Amino acid sequence: MTTPQPGYGQQPQQSFDPQHGSGSPVPAGYGAPAPAPQGYGAQATIDLTIQGNVMMRSFVPPTVWVNGHALTAKYGQRSVPVAAGPVRVDVECQWLRKYGQASLTFDAQPGQTVPVFYAAPAHQFTTGNIGHVPQKFKGLGFVWGIVGLALAVVVLSFLLPVLLG
């Protein structure tokens, strides 16, 4: 049995995201601290999770930028080393147009691993969700409404001739 890492399990500290206007909990000391390489400034790690998969979201994974640097994104989890200090994560999807835009800004402490979760929307007419805890997918009600409307039209096209004829 291993002992918990220092800071793991402590009360989360609150950070303010000016773009989304709400406090997002950032667990203090989340996971094992990332070692800073010799000769470089202090580093931290982003534990980036792009929620969903190719079959349920899109065959083209979202595009991710960390502090302006593009990443090769894929669904699932990955670790991204960053310099300690202010960090900005921007994400967007593209199919026929750009959609699902979301941004998160936070301060990463030296050696800290910060969780970041992104959920792409269910359709191209809304933004995505990003935060420090698993996110909900936006737009599912709209998609189910369209499916329900299509089914209602099909059912009525068969029932009306029978009832009126």
Q: For residue range 76-125, what is the model confidence (pLDDT) as tens digits?
A: 999 999 999 999 999 998 888 898 899 999 999 999 999 999 998 888 88
**Token representation of residue 49:** 């999770």
Domains of the chain and any CATH numbers: 13-136 (2.60.40)
Residue 15, SS3 per DSSP: strand
Q: 43: which residues sit within 8 A by CB, 6+ positions away? A: 34, 35, 36, 37, 81, 82, 83, 84, 110, 111
Greatest extent of the chain over all pairs of C-alpha atoms, in Å: 85
What number of residues does the chain have?
Answer: 165
| Main-chain phi, psi angles of 164, to 5 degrees | -90, -15
The mean pLDDT value for 47-75 works out to 85
The mean pLDDT value for 40-69 works out to 85
Give the span between the Cα atoms of 98 and 101, in whole angstroms.
8
Task: Provide the pLDDT for residue 143.
Answer: 65
Task: Provide the pLDDT for residue 142.
Answer: 66
Name the pLDDT band for 160 (thresholds 50, 70, 90): confident
